[in-house]
Amino acid sequence: VSAIAGECLAKIHTFSAQSLSHISWAMAQWGTRKDDLMNAIADEVQHKTHEFSPGPLAMTAWSFASLQIKNIPLMTSISEEAVDKIRSFKTQDLAHLAWAFANLRIQDSRLFNKMADEVQRNINGTLPPELANIAWAFSKNNFSHEDLMCAIAKEAVSQIHNFKSAEVAMLTWAFAVAGLRNKELMTGIGAQVAQNIIRFSAPQLSHIAWAFGALSLRHTEFLQSLSTHVYGSIKSFRAQGLSNIAWAFAMVNFRDEQLILRVAPAIAREVGDLRPLALARCAWAYRVLSVPSPELMDALSVEALKKADEFPTKALVKLIDSVYSSPVPKERSLLHRVLAGRTADVANFIQAFWKGNHPINEEDYCGQLHAFSFVECGIVGTPLLLSQLNIDLPSGGFMRRCCQKGLHKNPKEDPTRQAPDDAS
């Protein structure tokens, strides 16, 4: 490879557009980052961009993205040429181009809007890999293009049996991240996964479960099949995957106590792999599902204390409230101290803002309060905050009257709690 790269570098100025695309592709296939050669290719491509046809242009972008080489001048040049020639791109080329920009986290709204229009114009017959990659790219780059995603969903439903497991996982993830609850598509995906579950890897299944949970869509056939599969192959799942599955079950009110108890020790053993948000979500899931696991709650608390500085306050509140009703781990009181430090910052701000006779700007006050990144302090944090503000806790009778007043219109229903949709 080094010899070939050296020879190419020496003759780079003689390369045609097609040859530049081919050598870029070859380097990506070899997984070899020869920075001097790739920089020379990038410079040469920019001088010859107008000579590129759509296929080689998209493949060049894909090659650099595969090697994680984020050359902004190159990608800008490719984008400008692609916009000019967008009507000449095949859908496969658009999929490669979209994937490249998303993989490098380059948000080019002009290019993505042009690609969205072109994909929709030629959506009929688009193959599963292209549908999955385009959906993934738009969601990964935070481009919410509902018309495009609906068109992708419609085409995907008609071909769902032709999707490979990785493509199903990508497509499901894309719609969950975009927050689009396309029930027809998700119903088809749920049935497809349930009936072919042994074809899916453990990470793929945990990502698909996460997606159903994120969309609050309950597909009973899929959940039952997943539960049975996980129970029999728990060793193939990592803690993050098992935590995702528990969280998804909680999000759609699917309670399999036997499975949730079985996975708890496995999560506890690898709890160090969980990031703060995953720790909070896992604890919340076990509380919502009412499955007691003191061993897991203790492990989550210990790990949360180690990572306390990394915790967003909202996630910290969720975790502390979730372990509140479990047997008291020694780390809980230490976590309370961490939370007390966060609520003290809020208390100090409130006291300073309302001190004196200066005019009050409500919008400014709310804006600064929201900057603390959490709306409520929770079961544990609220008494801490009130105490720091020198405000006595309200009586139980007062709280009951507040609840009654809040539920006065329909005392049998909590308006803040909605059941998940059924995607079966």
64-96 per-residue burial string, b: 16 or more CB within 10 A, e: under 16: bbbbebebeebbebbbebbeeebeebebbbbbb
345-366 per-residue burial string, b: 16 or more CB within 10 A, e: under 16: ebbeebeeeeeeeeeeeeeeee
Per-residue pLDDT band for 415 (boundaries 50, 70, 90) equals very low
Convert the pLDDT of each residue in 228-246 to its tens digit: 999 999 999 999 999 999 9
pLDDT at 419: 61
pTM: 0.86
Q: Is 371 helix (H, G, I), strand (E, B) or coil?
A: coil
Convert the pLDDT of each residue in 290-346 to its tens digit: 999 999 999 999 999 999 999 999 999 999 999 887 765 567 788 999 999 999 999
Rounded to whole angstroms, the Cα distance separating 132 from 250 reads 27
Convert the pLDDT of each residue in 350-372 to its tens digit: 888 888 677 778 888 888 888 88
Q: HEC string of 73-113?
A: HHHHHHHHHHHHCHHHCCHHHHHHHHHHHHHCCCCCHHHHH
pLDDT at 417: 46
**What does pLDDT average to over the chain?**
91
